[in-house]
Structure 1
Amino acid sequence: MSSLPPTATPAAARTPAPAAVAPAFSPLYQQIKGLILRSLQEGEWKPGESIPSEMDLAGRFRVSQGTVRKAIDELAAENLVIRRQGKGTFVATHAEHQVQYRFLKLLPDQGDAREEGPAQRTVLECRRARASADVARALALRTGDTVILARRILAFAGVPTILEELWLPGQAFKGLSAEQMASYQGPTYAMFELEFGVRMVRADEKIRAVLPDAAQAQSLGVSETTPLLSVERLAYTYNDAPMELRRGLYRTDTHYYFNALN
């Protein structure tokens, strides 16, 4: 006869209690940074507008001014806000002179991008389409979801230099037209901010050397044996939400691709 009480269970048969999981910890300034990011994402402060002072934010979040300052320091280092001496801190915008070329990596052999001036844009098409599997995967959509496909040529000093395709989530960019893209005088990312409330804050790129097909060569005015730089960029808005897949072919006979590594 077993000596165990009727309600007892042999030790080998007992299910071990799950190990306690320690809660994830993040420094207080990182938590404040996250709260400021949420306000940016929700549009409480628009691109180009000032955000509350460090003192006001410290009172709002009930933390020290030094904690807020450290959070804003990180946001400034990530080009999400811009400090202006004696004026305050402002939401960064691609319309801002010092940051509007931050995503432009193709620079002229002579002079710099500001001296060369903005590219002349020829929009070949801008239409609604269905996302292919690879486009949907990149933009965190489902295959077949509506996207906006735009194709255009960028020229410098009248020379076609970049041929690119832009894939954008259809819901976020509903109503975008070829006329709108062609007529806007500032940077395209500034237009995305102003017209659609979408700010690109960072991007990942893949680069390789390729040869163009016949149609691509004709668009850029080169031969099919001319090596081009293929650049695939995935741009994100706040909280790492992908909002643009851009595929471009770059001529590098009068320009070079520049990237500063920190």
Structure 2
Amino acid sequence: MAHLPPPLPGPGSAAAEPATPGTPAFSPLYQQIKALILESLQAGEWKPGEAIPSEMDLAVRFRVSQGTVRKAVDELAAENLLLRRQGKGTFVATHSEQQVRYRFLKLMPDAGDLAAEGQPQREVLECRRLRAPADVARSLALRAGDAVIQVRRVLSFGGVPTILEDLWLPGAPFKGLTAQQMTGYHGPTYAMFEVEFGVRMVRAEEKIRAVAADPSQAELLQVPRHSPLLSVERVAYTYNDVPMEVRRGLYRTDTHHYRNELS
């Protein structure tokens, strides 16, 4: 259970006056409640897919108004951390949900949509435990030489190899991960991380560049050597911006394109 907050301003109050040099800064009350809800999510008090307490119950728990709780929950829902269901309540978002299961996969077929292609076929080429390379350790906020799990796999759509990717995961949270788990789970990989390891990826950052396929990559993706590929490097984070995955993918774009929505 999250700790109760220190004495807070009365219901409906806003942030304190802007801080002047040498004085502490205060966040709005609803932001403090949002942080406490995040603390409970990170601690696993409410698991992905489970309902959280009602706004009224949370208001009693945190000793604030229901409107303050609603504003905190609204922000968490807008960030895809919580999911409102009309007449049912508010639930912890999960990558198993149809509307968010492909939230981090932006490669779309030129004809149709990703859902129409169905679940990609996964071929795991390698799954091993090793010491983190220096660049991976930096991205995962690990010490050089800490244990990581490396996975290399090919994702195919409609029988056509489309994505070649390498994943690096911190060794402690993903201890025991096997190639059989990666291959056999019938759902999104991020949903498997939630169910099997209690790790939920809530946001990601990507770097994208164009590259030419080397001989090994060309063979695995069944394209001519030097074919243009889209290189996508992703760092995925769990709650409170803790990095939990480095993923480097090479995407074929002869029948697919990268699509993102900006707002």
Same topology, TM > 0.5: yes
**Corresponding residue number in structure 1 for 2:10:** none
**Corresponding residue number in structure 1 for 2:71:** 70
The one-letter amino acid of 1:194's match is V
**Corresponding residue number in structure 2 for 1:219:** 220
Alignment of 1:1-262 (within 5 A): 21-262=22-263
**What's the offset of the Cα at 1:225?**
2.1
Distance 2:119 2:110 in 1: 16
**What's the offset of the Cα at 1:104?**
1.2
**Corresponding residue number in structure 1 for 2:14:** none
The one-letter amino acid of 2:67's match is G
Q: Which runs of 4+ in 1 moved over 6 A?
A: none
Aligned residue pairs, count? 244
**What's the offset of the Cα at 1:20?**
6.8
Distance 2:21 2:158 in 1: 65
Q: Which deviations, in whole Å up to 9, do the C-alpha atoms of 1:111-140 show, x marking residues without a partner?
A: 111111111000001010110110000000
**What's the offset of the Cα at 1:101?**
1.1
SS of residue matched to 2:48: coil
The one-letter amino acid of 1:58's match is A
The one-letter amino acid of 1:21's match is G
**What's the offset of the Cα at 1:212?**
1.4
* Aligned-residue RMSD, C-alpha: 0.9
Gaps of 5+ in 1: 1-18
The one-letter amino acid of 2:239's match is Y
**What's the offset of the Cα at 1:24?**
1.7
SS of residue matched to 1:72: helix
**What's the offset of the Cα at 1:224?**
1.6
Distance 2:196 2:150 in 1: 17
Distance 2:103 2:140 in 1: 22
Q: Indicate conservation of the 8 Å contact 2:42/2:239, yes or no.
A: yes
Give the stretch that moved more between structures: 19-28 or 184-193. Answer: 19-28
SS of residue matched to 2:102: coil
Q: Indicate conservation of the 8 Å contact 2:214/2:226, yes or no.
A: no
Q: Which deviations, in whole Å up to 9, do the C-alpha atoms of 1:195-248 show, x marking residues without a partner?
A: 000000000000000011110110000112210000000000000000000000
* TM value normalised by structure 2: 0.92
Distance 1:113 1:212 in 2: 24
Q: Which deviations, in whole Å up to 9, do the C-alpha atoms of 1:144-175 show, x marking residues without a partner?
A: 11000000000001000000000000001000
Distance 2:106 2:79 in 1: 17
* TM value normalised by structure 1: 0.92
The one-letter amino acid of 2:238's match is T
The one-letter amino acid of 2:92's match is V
Distance 2:225 2:231 in 1: 14
Distance 2:223 2:251 in 1: 11
Distance 1:243 1:236 in 2: 5
Greater C-alpha radius of gyration: 1
The one-letter amino acid of 1:255's match is H
Distance 2:161 2:55 in 1: 47
SS of residue matched to 2:25: coil
Distance 2:253 2:74 in 1: 37
The one-letter amino acid of 1:149's match is Q
**Corresponding residue number in structure 2 for 1:10:** none
Distance 2:100 2:160 in 1: 25
